[in-house]
Amino acid sequence: MAFLVLGRRVWLGIALGALLVNAPISSSPAAAAATAAGNTIAPFVAAELLRRVGFRREIDRLRDAIAIVFLAALSSMLISATVGAGTLLLSGAIPAGDFPGAWAVWWTGDAMGVLVVAPFLLSLLSFRGPSKGSWKRRAEAAGLFVLLTLATLAVVRTHLHLLFLVLPLLGWAAWRFQQRGAAPGALLVAGIATWAAARGLGPFEGGTLFARMLTLQAFNATVAFASFVFAALVSERMRARQSLELAAAGLETRVRERTAALSTANERLTREIGVRREVEGKLRERERQLAEAQQVALFGSWEWLIPEDRVTWSDEMYRIHGHEPQAFPLDLARAVEQVVEDDLERIRRNTEAALRSGGNHDIPTIEYRIVRSDLAERVLVGKARLMVGPTGEPLRMVGTVQDITDDRQAEREHRIAATLQRSLLPDRLPEIPGVTLAARYVPATTGLEIGGDWYDVLQLPNGHVGVGIGDVAGHGLPAASTMGQLRMALRAYAMEEESPARVVIRLHQLVQKLPISEMATLVYLVFDPDSGSVTYANAGHPPPLAIPAEGDPSYLQEGLAPPLGAAPAPDLYTESVFQLVNGSTLLLFTDGLVERRGVSLREGLERLRNEARAVGPELDLLCDHLLGSFLGKDASDDVALIALRPIAFVGEPLRLRVAAEPRALAPMRHTLRRWLRSVDADPEETYEIVLACGEACANAIQHPYGVGDGVVEIDLDLVGGEVRVTVRDVGTWRVPARRDGGRGLTLMRGFMDEVDVETGSGGTVVRMRRRLRAPAR
Amino acid sequence: MNDLARVQVEEDSGRCILRIQGEIDISNAREVLSTIQASVPNGAQAIFVDLTETTYLDSSGVHLLVMLADRLRVRRQELSLVVPSGGPIRALLEVAGVPKVIPMRDHLDAE
């Protein structure tokens, strides 16, 4: 046992142990030494034999069980039995006749020790470490051992030969717990049997010592052998099953891993195929795009192989020249045969110069014209590069050609539209007595197109002021020309119709008749400086904004109707009246001011309402402020805005500059009346002073049918309850014409307290005074 | 016809009444004159120009009336003016000496 566990080197310890055990019971020291030697050699031989056959201490194989029974117990113990019994015989401890009996007792004792005790001790080693058994299993083990003890005690106490009854219980222990059950079980049974045999109980009653020992040994050997073999078999089968399961599990894992690897590989492959397909698709797409791009850009490419004088053109090159793609083969002469004579000469010179100069280099860009077979002339821009061989000989020339005919056309149209646009907007606002005005037009900066925003300010015969602002959708020449037509039509209708709704209706009817495809919106309003009322009509345009000197601005949003030409019935265009309080400003604008991508028109209008709040007295500053805060660097739409504010007379002198033409007189009279009312002149005085001023101006004005572009300045001032009038013109004083029968001066003198006419080289000045009845407040 | 003034013509048993609404100045006097001349039928003996609704009249308007009176006189037609007294037009016509040339009355029906 110790040899098995600790190895050969422990022989000395074993020998000493055996000597100490044998010394007191031996007849002489020599006999004790001989017995100890036998007792040491026997287990040493047993351990060596077991080691040789590859014995495993767990005794979990059939061969281990057989080895321990036959090699260790039965064979090796022959040595100790023979040596021991021999020593007893030789030392005279036993008579010769007792030798077989002593030998048998010795042999069976040692063999039983090996069979019963050694496996048990070995099995104890396998108990080391934490117990893995469950409660059930422990209960089963305990129950089993109690049962085994009781059964063994029962069979050794009866005279019946029933010792074999314990075998099923041992089989149970071996089956359920292998060597851990079999070895202690065998030890227990053997122990009890030995105890019974020593006492001569039950089956061991009677007979010789040899016969009892033989029976006991046979029984113990059977018990041990059966237990070990059975336990080993069970262990072996369990191990086999485990390794089988392990192998199966391993196989399963490997299959799973392999499957996963395969599916990964498969996915990668699928992906690669997809990618490759995509790349191929992209490549084909690129080729198609290149061809399309050439077609869209009217962009062709060519190559000239110089030594063999062969020219190849891209498809688009053929199309630019008015041919089917690849319609015919080309050489240089054929390639340039459509070029206009003068330009061909330039191309020849360029080419020759390029060939002469040698080396790889770019040839200067050239613009030239070709005539197609349908006689259409196209303007082309060509770029080329020369490639030479190793010795500098010209090999080939490659180049591109772009058809820029449409661009040239577009540039021309753009110039015309820009000119038209400029000519259509008032270059300066008219000076209208009683109102101040400011206007701005900002063209779109992104894109070179001309917009269709416009505005106009009209002095109406009845002293009212007409203000129109409009937007023709679309850009370029068509929009600009539509806008021009609308603006002129507005001027004409505004002179004839007092009602803004009527003016808008007539514009609507005009638009319906004109071939105008663009949408046109418009706000037209008439401001009456006398009453401060604003009458307005709106055809689909952003509403005008009234900005009071203090408080919240508000939109004039009544009567909104569809854009011009879009209303199903003209009576949809109506007008509304808004009362402009003193100091208020009226702002008209186009949607380019407030409309931004991603911002609703409503939000834009709300923002404008906030930005316009509490404007200063300077309308120009208001306009600049609004443009500054609403327009970024890139205005995508053009913007027009116009601001109007009535001039409030508060005892200020009146300064008027009016055109020296008859139609300027009526509006001037309106302004004069307003001013005179403000200084508390009564209606009669007002009429008479206005009449005197009118007569003075009429003298300054050129003949109604002549050409007049002069200016008349009229100043009115109230000094000490007296109205002082100065009318100044820069023309020459005309002798009162027959048209008034010379009554003008008569009337002036008749109604004014004092009239003084002073004619100089620079013009004529008429000074008049009239004292008012009511003192000025 | 004109943005400043409007002329309404009314015929009534040998009388022709021309109502002038609005303003007359050098910009439209000649036009108003030709309108009136074209509107006056040859058969009417008494021609009344009603200035009740006229809001402004200057020397060119006065000249117009005097010329009209002259031309009608040649056709043996008599021109009278209807001008409310106390109004600014009446004052103006008086200052210009018109009443000496053209008979004037306050109302159309008054003598």
pLDDT value, residue A776 = 45
Q: Is the pLDDT of residue A566 over 80?
A: yes
Length reported for chain A: 777
How confident is residue A736, by pLDDT bands cut at 50, 70 and 90? very low
Q: Is the pLDDT of residue A550 over 70?
A: yes
DSSP helix/strand/coil, A249: helix
Mean pLDDT within A8-14: 72
Is B4 in the A-facing interface, judged by CB distances under 8 Å? Answer: yes
Q: Which of B3, B62, B92 sits opposite A740 (nearest CB)?
A: B62
Size of interface A-B (CB pairs under 8 A): 84
Is A694 in the B-facing interface, judged by CB distances under 8 Å? Answer: yes
Contact A301/A315 with Cβ under 8 angstroms?
no
Q: Which of B25, B92, B97 sits opposite A662 (nearest CB)?
A: B25
Mean pLDDT within A22-41: 76
The ipTM estimated for the assembled molecules is: 0.91
Chain A residue with the nearest C-alpha to that of B55: A687
Q: Which residues of B touch A751 (CB under 8 A)?
A: 92, 95
Instruction: Tell me whether residues A751 and B26 touch, CB distance under 8 A.
Output: no
Please count the other Cβ atoms lying within 10 Å of the Cβ belonging to residue A495: 15
How confident is residue A128, by pLDDT bands cut at 50, 70 and 90? low
Q: Is the pLDDT of residue A18 over 80?
A: no
Mean pLDDT within A67-71: 80
Q: How far is A684 from chain B (nearest CA, A)?
A: 6
Quick: pLDDT tens for A163-217. Answer: 778 888 888 888 888 877 888 888 888 888 888 887 777 777 777 777 777 777 7
Q: Which of B4, B58, B91 sits opposite A694 (nearest CB)?
A: B58
Instruction: Tell me whether residues A698 and B66 touch, CB distance under 8 A.
Output: no
Query: What percent of chain A stands above pLDDT 70?
Result: 90
Is B66 in the A-facing interface, judged by CB distances under 8 Å? Answer: yes
Chain B residue with the nearest C-alpha to that of A703: B26
- List the single range of A50-59, A63-72, A209-218 with lowest mean pLDDT: A209-218
Instruction: Work out the mean pLDDT of chain A and round it to a whole number.
Output: 82
pLDDT value, residue A403 = 87
Spacing of C-alpha A333 from chain mean position: 56
Those residues with Cβ within 8 angstroms of residue A233's Cβ, 6 or more apart along the chain or in another chain:
A62
Is A768 in the B-facing interface, judged by CB distances under 8 Å? Answer: no
Q: How far is A572 from chain B (nearest CA, A)?
A: 26
Contact A535/A576 with Cβ under 8 angstroms?
yes
Q: Which residues of B touch A495 (CB under 8 A)?
A: 3
Q: Is the pLDDT of residue A684 over 50?
A: yes
What tokens were used for A509?
């009817």
Those residues with Cβ within 8 angstroms of residue A513's Cβ, 6 or more apart along the chain or in another chain:
none
Q: Is the pLDDT of residue B26 over 80?
A: yes
**Which comes out higher in pLDDT, residue A65 or A620?**
A620
C-alpha dihedral, A60 to A63 to A69 to A71, nearest 10°: -130
E-strand ranges in A202-261 read none
Q: Which of A461, A739, A743 sits opposite B26 (nearest CB)?
A: A739
Is B68 in the A-facing interface, judged by CB distances under 8 Å? Answer: no
Is B69 in the A-facing interface, judged by CB distances under 8 Å? Answer: no
The dihedrals phi and psi of A714, each to the nearest 5 degrees, come to -125, 120
| Angle at CA of residue A749, ends B19 and B60, nearest 5° | 30
* Nearest-angstrom CA–CA distance, A636 and A657: 39
DSSP helix/strand/coil, A388: strand
Contact A228/A179 with Cβ under 8 angstroms?
yes
- Mutation for A interface: B2, B25, B57, most A CBs within 10 A: B25
pLDDT value, residue A709 = 60
pLDDT value, residue A126 = 65
Instruction: Tell me whether residues B56 and A669 touch, CB distance under 8 A.
Output: yes
Q: Which residues of B touch A698 (CB under 8 A)?
A: 25-26, 58-60
Is B71 in the A-facing interface, judged by CB distances under 8 Å? Answer: no
Mean pLDDT within A439-443: 84
Instruction: Tell me whether residues A750 and B30 touch, CB distance under 8 A.
Output: no
Instruction: Tell me whether residues A691 and B95 touch, CB distance under 8 A.
Output: no
* Largest distance between two CA atoms of chain A: 197
* Nearest-angstrom CA–CA distance, A547 and A542: 15
A 460-479: CB under 8 A from B: 460-462
pLDDT value, residue A172 = 85
- List the single range of A262-266, A340-344, A441-445, A562-566 with lowest mean pLDDT: A441-445
Buried b (16+ CB within 10 A) or exposed e, B58-97: bbbbbbbbbbbbeebeeeebebbbbbeeebbbbbbbebbe
pLDDT value, residue A508 = 92
Instruction: Tell me whether residues A744 and B30 touch, CB distance under 8 A.
Output: no
| Angle at CA of residue B74, ends B70 and B78, nearest 5° | 70
Is B6 in the A-facing interface, judged by CB distances under 8 Å? Answer: no
Q: Which residues of A touch B95 (CB under 8 A)?
A: 746-747, 750-751
* Nearest-angstrom CA–CA distance, A432 and A419: 27
Q: How far is B109 from chain A (nearest CA, A)?
A: 26
Residue A530 is given by DSSP the state: T
Instruction: Tell me whether residues A740 and B58 touch, CB distance under 8 A.
Output: yes
Quick: pLDDT tens for A608-650. Answer: 998 888 677 788 888 888 888 888 766 667 888 999 998 777 7
Q: Is the pLDDT of residue A417 over 90?
A: no
E-strand ranges in A529-575 read 533-539, 545-547, 554-555, 560-561
Q: How far is B40 from chain A (nearest CA, A)?
A: 22
Instruction: Tell me whether residues A684 and B4 touch, CB distance under 8 A.
Output: no
What tokens were used for A360?
């790889």
Among B69, B66, B57, B52, CA closest to B109: B52
Rg of the Cα atoms in chain B: 13
- List the single range of A228-232, A504-508, A600-604, A641-645 with lowest mean pLDDT: A228-232
Q: Which residues of B touch A663 (CB under 8 A)?
A: 27
How confident is residue A547, by pLDDT bands cut at 50, 70 and 90? very high
Q: Are strands B104-105 and B78-82 parallel, antiparallel or unpaired?
A: parallel
pLDDT value, residue A774 = 67
Residue with tokens 């200084």: A679
What tokens were used for A232?
């080993």
Q: Which of B3, B30, B95 sits opposite A746 (nearest CB)?
A: B95
Contact A697/A714 with Cβ under 8 angstroms?
yes
Mean pLDDT within A533-539: 94
> Domains in chain B, please, with CATH?
5-105 (3.30.750.24)
Instruction: Tell me whether residues B23 and A747 touch, CB distance under 8 A.
Output: no
* Burial of A342 from C-beta contacts in 10 A (0-12 / 13-18 / 19+): exposed
* Nearest-angstrom CA–CA distance, A542 and A558: 11
Instruction: Tell me whether residues A662 and B30 touch, CB distance under 8 A.
Output: no
Is A753 in the B-facing interface, judged by CB distances under 8 Å? Answer: no
Q: How far is B13 from chain A (nearest CA, A)?
A: 33
- Mutation for B interface: A743, A748, A749, most B CBs within 10 A: A743
Chain B residue with the nearest C-alpha to that of A663: B27
pLDDT value, residue B83 = 94
**Which comes out higher in pLDDT, residue A631 or B97?**
B97
Q: Which residues of B touch A704 (CB under 8 A)?
A: 26-27, 30
- Mutation for A interface: B26, B33, B98, most A CBs within 10 A: B26
pLDDT value, residue A237 = 84
**Which comes out higher in pLDDT, residue A20 or B92?**
B92
Mean pLDDT within A112-137: 71
Instruction: Tell me whether residues A698 and B62 touch, CB distance under 8 A.
Output: no
Q: Which of A704, A741, A743 sits opposite B27 (nearest CB)?
A: A704
Tell me the helices (H) and strands (E) count for chain A, helix number first: 21, 21
Contact B26/A665 with Cβ under 8 angstroms?
yes
Highest averaged pLDDT of the listed ranges A447-461, A471-485, A618-632: A618-632
Q: Which residues of B touch A691 (CB under 8 A)?
A: 56, 58, 88, 92
pLDDT value, residue A583 = 82
pLDDT value, residue A1 = 53
**Which comes out higher in pLDDT, residue A478 or A755?**
A755
Q: Is the pLDDT of residue B38 over 80?
A: yes
* Nearest-angstrom CA–CA distance, A162 and A719: 160
Is A746 in the B-facing interface, judged by CB distances under 8 Å? Answer: yes
- Give, for A470, the enclosing helix (H) or strand (E): strand A465-472
- List the single range of A4-8, A687-691, A719-723, B39-43 with lowest mean pLDDT: A4-8
* Nearest-angstrom CA–CA distance, A468 and A455: 5
